[in-house]
Structure 1
């Protein structure tokens, strides 16, 4: 999972999909809707860029798997045709951008790297299913809210998030902890807890932007 790299730069919380009700881990990038404190005109201001950001304009799509069971699907590379990052090749050598294919029609290095990113995301999503199920089974998620007062006096409320219930975690027996460790869940749990330390630098970053 990506937790080790994510927690070095961003707080990790758990969110609930409003449509499906499913929980998923997410990196906090800002204190308001669609806010990204790490992106400016000069680029991305962090040592690690999350895979879900790097994947754009590519998506993971699914299509019927003829070799699988009835109704089975398999992941395929899709592209957001409306993405502003897409430009049509003009044949002008001075045109900026990355080609998706080489002259012989094979995937370019850029596309191969993007495919690898999508594969990593897909593996992470599959891993998350078991991870979230284990957290819920042992009641290791609790709702979380935080009110942040910035230097200009404005208040920002973080609501609707979930985080690791540390008291519940401390009460787990050795057998469960050992199982979590074998499954790769224990490290992710502690990385999520450790990531709380990234909140203070985010607040400082926002205050610096306010001037």
Structure 2
């Protein structure tokens, strides 16, 4: 049901994150006079059912989407926006995200992101997805005032920097979950009138409540003091939204027949 989206590999391979096709460093020399077009729709998100989120977003995301964890060596927290591969149930026929539904920061950051230009570099540079067609020479919202970043670019850079800091906090959270060995393979079974047999969803990870309750007192105190326990319960409470998400999925599949 959920899988960890691709990320940039530490070996320097051109493995780009979800939604990105061609990263280009933003340069006042190469992109003088360029600007940012206003995004007309969210069609670029229609082909995914799981979007990465950071721990900074958990308290908001838990009210809108189930939060699960991906598979693989470096699993990330994911907001489920669908239950079938390649289908975002919150982007409608008009290609717009459903009103009053939270849009994850990972989506709002696009087409920009911070990236290392060289695998060995410690410095992150502001880049954009050239394939998105949003950074162009004919856009009115300019990215530079002469050779200096415009206010727009400064705001973009600040957002991307804050996002990277949140990513670091998320990685630390995931490292602690691994140390406590709290994750287990997830499985959700849904029984519903109209189904010949129960719907079973797998392919994600979740926190084991049994393991959580079995923690020693000093371990539990560490979770409380670090703020991790609140994040864990935000994740666990959000799983109740899988049933409404299934109803949305069922309605969509019925309507398409």
Give 1:1-211 correspondences, 5 Å limit: 1-17=56-72, 21-40=73-92, 41=94, 43-45=96-98, 46-63=100-117, 71=120, 73-84=122-133, 86=134, 88-90=136-138, 99-101=141-143, 103-104=145-146, 106-148=148-190, 153=195, 157-209=200-252, 210-211=254-255
Give the RMSD, CA atoms, in angstroms. 2.8
**Distance (whole Å) between structure 1 residues aligned to residue 200 and residue 95 of structure 2:** 28
Once the two structures are superposed, residues 100-128 of structure 1 have per-residue CA deviations (whole angstroms, 9 ceiling, x without a partner) of 42555544454444333322321122112
Residue of structure 1 equivalent to 2:50: none
Gaps of 5+ in 2: 1-55
- Is the alpha carbon distance of 1:34 and 1:116 closer, same or farther for their aligned partners in structure 2, counting shifts above 3 Å? farther
Superposed displacement of residue 130, structure 1: 1.9
- Is the alpha carbon distance of 1:174 and 1:44 closer, same or farther for their aligned partners in structure 2, counting shifts above 3 Å? same
**Distance (whole Å) between structure 2 residues aligned to residue 103 and residue 88 of structure 1:** 15
Superposed displacement of residue 83, structure 1: 1.4
Once the two structures are superposed, residues 57-85 of structure 1 have per-residue CA deviations (whole angstroms, 9 ceiling, x without a partner) of 11220246xxxxxx55122221111114x
**Distance (whole Å) between structure 2 residues aligned to residue 99 and residue 134 of structure 1:** 42
Superposed displacement of residue 38, structure 1: 0.8
TM-score (norm 2): 0.66
Return structure 1 stretches of 4+ with deviation > 6 angstroms.
Answer: 149-152
Give the length in aligned residue pairs: 196
**Distance (whole Å) between structure 2 residues aligned to residue 150 and residue 108 of structure 1:** 54
**Distance (whole Å) between structure 2 residues aligned to residue 176 and residue 103 of structure 1:** 53
Deviates more, 1:102-111 or 1:199-208: 102-111
TM-score (norm 1): 0.79
